[in-house]
Amino acid sequence: MNASVNCSLLAVTGPTASGKTRRAVELSRAFDGEIISADSRQVYCGMDLGTGKDLEEYDGVPYHLIDIVPAGTKYNLYRFLHDYAEARAGIVARGKLPVICGGTGMYLEAALNGLRLPQVPENVELRESLEGKSLEELTSILSSMKTLHNDTDVDTCKRAIRAIEIQKYYEDNPELAAAVTPTPETDAVIIGIDIDRETRRGRISVRLRQRFSRGMIQEVESLLASGIPADDLIYYGLEYKFLTLFIIGRLSREEMERKLEIAIHQFAKRQMTWFRGMEHRGFKINWLPWDMPSDEFVENVRSIINQSRS
């Protein structure tokens, strides 16, 4: 690890299209780090354009938790925390700085909190009893079991059923729920990429058009042709949801593009809401302008790290 940088973990976050990956790469180069992705969809092989992997941006900087499971599987917070802990331990063992980068606020916050979760098995009987209920009904059931801080658990019926299943498991096994006690990182520095709303919206629109021109529709067609059920791709949301609905004939091309762009803008807004929530929950996010020159950005982060240790 770079001797002039003294922190156990560096986190780089911000909304979609803010340039997080490029900044994480710059910091990893400057501070001898390796990147751990905190993105809930970049874990899937073959889901490249829709998740914005942009692997060329890493340019030799080692990265982890990208392309680690087949598309069509259900990756979750439990698996992420296990894989994150494993990746981080390896980076530290190599004497490098772990740099966690991503916009999935739930993953990022759980990692920074040092959260560890027990594996929750499937409850077939419960699932069968919930099958056929509307998303509104499932949301009501989950709300009666716990306080909903966001809509991540209830954006699809499958996610809502799984969230109810997990909550029921904790209710039936209170000793395991009690063991889910976070041990927050006390030596982590969080850098947020600050981008104004209008610039962010413009970059989202441009990037979306670029991904269409690079073959994003063909990517989803290939995933469907490989045998992945349409419902599984719809489950992943955003690009995969709307492109699948277009391909299977439930949306016109015009409807798909319009609804997808709106959904991505709404997603970026929800990301910012999560980050503000993190700040309310006690996390110090050091926001730096998205368009700051690279050298200046690195030196600002170095100064922030040094100040956090003084």
Nearest residue to 218 (alpha-carbon basis) of 236, 243, 201, 185: 243
Q: What pLDDT sits at residue 183?
A: 75
User: The tokens of 238 are what?
Assistant: 């955003």
| Whole-model pTM over 0.85 | no
Q: What pLDDT sits at residue 2?
A: 46
Q: What pLDDT sits at residue 5?
A: 74
- Cα gap 239→235, rounded to integer Å: 11
| Alpha carbon separation from 173 to 82, 96, 170, 305 (Å, rounded) | 21, 39, 5, 41
- Cα gap 280→42, rounded to integer Å: 28
Q: Which residues contact 16 (CB under 8 A, 6 or more apart)?
A: 52, 103, 200, 204, 264, 267, 268, 271
Helices (H) and strands (E) in the chain, counts: 13, 8
Q: Which residues contact 193 (CB under 8 A, 6 or more apart)?
A: 12, 13, 14, 15, 18, 19, 20, 23, 287, 288, 290
Q: What pLDDT sits at residue 4?
A: 53
- Cα gap 232→271, rounded to integer Å: 23
Q: What pLDDT sits at residue 271?
A: 97
Q: What pLDDT sits at residue 211?
A: 97
What residues of the chain score a pLDDT lower than 50? 1-3
Nearest residue to 108 (alpha-carbon basis) of 12, 197, 15: 12
